[in-house]
Amino acid sequence: MAPLALVTGAAGLIGQYLLRSARRWASGWDVRGLSRAEVDLTDFPAVTSLLHSAKPDAIIHCAALSRTKDCELDPDRARRINVQATAHLAASARDMPFIFLSSGEVFDGRQGWYREADEARPINVYGQTKLEAERVVLANPRHTVLRIVLTAGTSLNGDRSFVEDMCRTARAGKDVMLYADEYRCPLPAGAIARAVWELLDHGRSGLFHLGGGERLSRWEIGEALLPWYPELSGRLIKGSARNHAGAPRPADLSLRCEKIQALLSFPLPGFRTWLASRSERGADLWDYPPP
């Protein structure tokens, strides 16, 4: 019988890509998604009971309060979900592979091109909760932290990806302000999923950065999306993060990814390179075309 990999946050953006791509990239695993509808990960007795009956052989932990704004508005809830629920899961998974999805938002964004060894200094609640959770996870040498990046994808309800946010704003007849001085190395969700499955198969633990090959401003990201999302045409407004009304925003979260790249069977794509390589319409722009 194949070993069982449990994916938390299964109804979320990246969880969905992990589940849909499991047959393609994780054929040696039996994969089960765990959504909040099935169990709230802050209900520790319920989680313990579910794990006792499911008996997974590995856990990929995607569940989180993943919006910076939501975390700023309710830090206690953010800590409960992003730190305490993660710590409980990691303790329950002490004797098995555990992959925790963290974020480049653990950095202050002043430097850019961060390596895993660079000092993390989060400037918002979301980043702080991710860093606290990382420290708990990495206390177990069998466990893995993956700091990922701005992820483009298509979610179940069309409300989880930054691309969907932008298109929803445009379709509502509003302009989309895109910062020309905020830099990210975005990846398609399909590439994130493929890398996570390959890393699980490698059995490597520790801290890894997982980002795209191109450092782009939010404005450049928007321009790259225009040919694929006509609703954005005429709606993109170039702005500066200096005028952002809200939680402090890290300016440059570009990540160096040589460490994980050395383990992967495929090159981590640049965002514009990915889009340039896609031709067929209709299929999911953010997943690998089926072989």
Ligand X SMILES: Cc1cn([C@H]2C[C@H](O)[C@@H](COP(=O)(O)OP(=O)(O)O[C@H]3O[C@@H](C)C(=O)[C@@H](O)[C@H]3O)O2)c(=O)[nH]c1=O
Ligand Y SMILES: NC(=O)C1=CN([C@@H]2O[C@H](COP(=O)(O)OP(=O)(O)OC[C@H]3O[C@@H](n4cnc5c(N)ncnc54)[C@H](OP(=O)(O)O)[C@@H]3O)[C@@H](O)[C@H]2O)C=CC1
Q: Is 267 exposed, middle or buried (0-12, 13-18, 19+ CB in 10 A)?
A: exposed
Q: Which stretch binds ligand X (CB under 6 A): 63-71, 90-98, 112-120, 268-276?
A: 63-71
Q: Does 14 bind ligand Y (CB under 6 A)?
A: yes
> Tokens standing for 224?
């790259």
Q: Which stretch binds ligand Y (CB under 6 A): 23-31, 61-69, 207-215, 250-258?
A: 61-69
Nearer to ligand Y, 2 or 67 (CB): 67
The continuous run of DSSP H or E covering 235 comes out as none
Residue 68 binding partner per list ligand Y, ligand X, none, with a CB distance cut-off of 5 to 8 Å that depends on partner kind: ligand X
Residue 211 binding partner per list ligand X, ligand Y, none, with a CB distance cut-off of 5 to 8 Å that depends on partner kind: none
DSSP three-state, residue 76: helix
Nearest to 123 by CA among 219, 217, 253: 253
Q: Does 92 bind ligand Y (CB under 6 A)?
A: no
DSSP three-state, residue 232: helix
Which alpha helices (H) appear in 138-264, and where do they start and end? 162-171, 189-202, 218-225, 258-261
Q: Which stretch binds ligand Y (CB under 6 A): 7-15, 88-96, 113-121, 163-171?
A: 7-15
The residue from 17, 114, 126, 183 that is catalytic is: 126
Which conformational region is residue 112 in: left (phi greater than 0), alpha (psi within -120 to 50 degrees), or beta? left
Contacts of 18 (CB under 8 A, 6+ apart): 7, 10, 31, 33, 60, 62, 193, 196, 197
Q: Which stretch binds ligand X (CB under 6 A): 8-16, 60-68, 85-93, 280-288?
A: 60-68
Q: Does 150 bind ligand Y (CB under 6 A)?
A: yes
Our measurement of the distance from residue 280's CA atom to the centroid of its chain's CA atoms, rounded to an integer in Å, reads 25
Q: Is 126 a catalytic residue?
A: yes
> Rounded to an integer, what distance in angstroms lies between the CA atom of residue 207 and that of residue 279?
35
Neighbour count for residue 180 (Cβ, 10 Å)? 14
Q: To the nearest whole angstrom, how small is the minimum distance from the Cβ of residue 127 to ligand Y? A: 10
Nearer to ligand X, 26 or 214 (CB): 214
Q: Interface residues for ligand Y in 255-284 (CB under 6 A)?
A: none
Q: Does 150 bind ligand X (CB under 6 A)?
A: yes
Contacts of 117 (CB under 8 A, 6+ apart): none
Q: Interface residues for ligand X in 226-285 (CB under 6 A)?
A: 253
Q: Does 23 bind ligand X (CB under 6 A)?
A: no
Q: Which residues bind ligand X (CB under 6 A)?
A: 66-69, 103-105, 126, 149-150, 162, 165-166, 176-179, 182, 218, 253
Report, as residue numbers or ranges, the catalytic residues.
126
